[in-house]
Amino acid sequence: MAVRPILIAGDPRLSTPATPVTTFDDELAAFVEDLFETNTAANGAGLAANQVGDARAVFVYDLVDDSVRHRGCVVNPVLETSALPETMPDPDDDLEGCLSVPGEWFPTGRAHWSRVTGVDVTGRPVTVEATGYLARCLQHETDHLAGRLYLERLIGRNQRAARRMIKDHQWTRPGRSWLPE
């Protein structure tokens, strides 16, 4: 198992849709363990494969929501959600961050409910249905695998602030990453 470098916004691998997984072997299982280890080292809630430069459609999650720990992996996820809010996100209750946008948080509108279906590392069917923080995480990670950062979901002043932040950090060139310790 190994902690892998996490790509930072601006790297084209983060905006490239993932490739479906077709081989379920020991290498995939070891890679998923690396994702869990990297996510833990980074104090993340979830981590998608493309965030560490791997094009496969797989993500892990490990978080506590309402005093319950949720931990798992979904390969080839398909997302369903309730309706997305059409109002400005609450600056206190809707904050979202991302390991590929280190140290930054922005209010982000997400559906209240989500369900992800896919398979586990052995190819067995898996379904994860959630509300609250876990629902937000499932949406966030499937967005990554579609080649979309949460910054693209921002609206109004939050979108403008994110653009300024990207420019200030000079996150417009590929190849930047950070290694969780």
Q: What is the set of active-site residues?
A: 141
Q: Whole-angstrom Cα distance, residue 155 to residue 108?
A: 8
Structure confidence by residue, pLDDT tens digits, 95-151:
999 999 999 999 999 999 999 999 999 999 999 999 999 999 999 999 999 999 999
- In this model, does residue 88 exceed pLDDT 90? no
**Can you say which residues are annotated as belonging to the binding site for Fe cation?**
98, 140, 144
pLDDT-based confidence at 85, cuts 50/70/90?
A: confident
Cβ-Cβ contacts under 8 Å for 22 (sequence gap 6 or more): none
Structure confidence by residue, pLDDT tens digits, 9-61:
999 999 999 999 999 999 999 999 999 999 999 999 999 999 999 999 999 99
- In this model, does residue 87 exceed pLDDT 90? no
Delineate the domains of the chain, giving CATH numbers in brackets.
6-171 (3.90.45.10)
Q: Are 96 and 110 in contact (CB under 8 A)?
A: yes
Secondary structure (DSSP) of 5-40: PEE-TT-GGGGSPPBPP---SHHHHHHHHHHHHHHH
pLDDT of the residue at 90: 82
pLDDT-based confidence at 181, cuts 50/70/90?
A: confident
pLDDT of the residue at 89: 85
Provide the residue count of the chain.
181
**Can you say which residues are annotated as belonging to the binding site?**
98, 140, 144
What is the pLDDT averaged over residues 65-69?
95
Mean pLDDT over each residue of the chain, to the nearest integer: 95
